[in-house]
Chain A
Amino acid sequence: MTDQQVEVWIARLLRSGVLLAALIVLGGGICFLAQHGEMAVHYHSFRSEPPQYTTAPAIVAGAMGGDCLAVIQLGLLVLIATPVARVAFSIAAFALERDWMYVLITAIVLAILLYSLI
């Protein structure tokens, strides 16, 4: 596989990730508006989101339990994961080319990303 082919393949993967994320977010949004559409908004003053919407395990658990807002957050997690997946796949691509320097550089970038996510 050439560089270009690998790139095209990764780009397709990215687009599928964004599409999947958008569909999950849309589903969660419709569900939320159907249930709580009449609720008053509170965006003029900031209060931090409750813990059930700020960590990956809590979001997944909430989405499984049918919490519409958690479903939206799950979609956003999928979205955040797409560039991370891109970096992870690039490691494999560089390894196939036996470019160990770039395997290392890409692995450091991945470590920084995972540090912020976890």
Chain B
Amino acid sequence: MNFLSLTPIIFVIAALAGFLGALTGLGGGVVVTPALTLLLGIDLRYAIGASLVSVIATSSGAAAAYVREGYSNLRIGMFLELATTLGALFGAYLATRTPTSALSVVFGIVLLHAAWQSTRRSPPPSTERHPDSLAARLKLHGAYPEQGRAMEYTATHVKTGLGLMFGAGTVSGLLGIGSGALKVIAMDQAMRIPFKVSTTTSNFMIGVTAAASAGIYLHRGYIDPALTMPVMLGVLMGSLIGARVLMGAQTHVLRWIFAVVVGVMAVEMIYNGVAKR
């Protein structure tokens, strides 16, 4: 196949991935890589490089919308970036030393988790409060608007959160995804930060985390210009449309369809990884 016929196909696949990723809140990166490798037989390393770059595009492109809502917390995000960027460097370093078959299996496991996560509803707001002196010193608190009132919150379990964030950064750097789901778990479930604050802050962090490993991917020659071009433009366009549609859309059925699709891809990725060796 030549570039002229393959590029539009890649663009459409990437746009679909970005669209679904935005609708389900999982991000386009987690879908576009398995789609490229399973449907078009593209080497996993090329797909990971292209996906990582498009993750930056969607995170930065969506930032304006999230900021206006007033949920994201710059201090919490920046503090946790210490862990995610270091994790991302570590992950990108691991990626260049891990055989593709093993990467494929790890990717499949992360996809299984994403499938499971996408069928769950937003957890109820956390009410448990432990005073955390570290959180107080680092000013990891804030307020968000809800029904016209300012709801105040303070983070807890800061060290656990940092550790989980290092893990999220490692997965992001290793697989070229935003790992937004893991970031939300670290903030919402471990640090007891309100769900809306967690999701919007996570979105801002995704771009910074991905930028940390993108440099290493570029230097290692994983980012192919002719392939990344349609992937990045497609995911960006798809996710911008998805974010528009999201306002008031009924996503419950969609989430289930998505979970099944992602689950099938997960099994295939794991099978491919095992079968190769």
Query: Which stretch (B230-238, B241-249, B264-272) binds chain A?
Result: B230-238
The 8 A CB mask of B70-110 against A (1 = contact, 0 = none) is: 10101100110110011011001000000010000000000
Interface flag for A113 (CB, 8 Å): yes
Size class of the contact patch on chain A: 35 or more
B61 CB → nearest A CB, Å: 5
**A25 touching B229 by the CB < 8 A rule?**
yes
Closest 7 A-B residue pairs measured CB to CB?
Answer: A48-B221, A37-B4, A49-B221, A116-B215, A72-B225, A117-B215, A83-B207
In whole angstroms, what is the CA distance A43 to B41 when docked?
8
Give, as a whole number of angstroms, the nearest-CB distance from B99 to chain A: 12
Q: Mark out the residues of chain A between 62 and 111 whose CB falls within 8 Å of any chain B CB in the assembled complex.
A: 69-70, 72-73, 76-77, 79-84, 86-87, 90, 93, 99, 101-102, 105-106, 108-109
Interface centre among B68, B210, B214 (most CB of A within 10 A): B214
Q: Which residues on B are within 8 Å of A, measured CB to CB? A: 1-4, 6-7, 40-43, 45-46, 53, 56-57, 59-61, 63-64, 66-68, 70, 72, 74-75, 78-79, 81-82, 85-86, 88-89, 92, 100, 138-139, 207-208, 210-216, 218-230, 232-233, 236
The answer to whether A22 touches B57 (Cβ under 8 A) is yes
Contact indicator A87/B221 (Cβ below 8 Å): no
Q: Which residues of B contact A25 (CB under 8 A)?
A: 228-229, 232-233
Whether B4 and A72, one on each chain, are in contact in the complex, defined by CB atoms closer than 8 angstroms, is no
Contact yes or no, A76 B215, CB < 8 A: no
**In the complex, chain B residues whose CB is within 8 Å of the CB of A77:** 218
Inter-chain contact A105/B225, CB cutoff 8 Å: no
Residues of A within 8 A of B6 (CB): 41
Contacting A72 at CB < 8 Å: which of B70, B214, B216, B226? B226
Q: How far is the CA of A29 from the CA of B6 in the complex (A)?
A: 13
A residues near B224, Cβ cutoff 8 Å: 43, 49, 53
Q: In the complex, which of the residues A38, A50, A76, A105 contacts B2, with contact meaning CB atoms closer than 8 Å?
A: A38
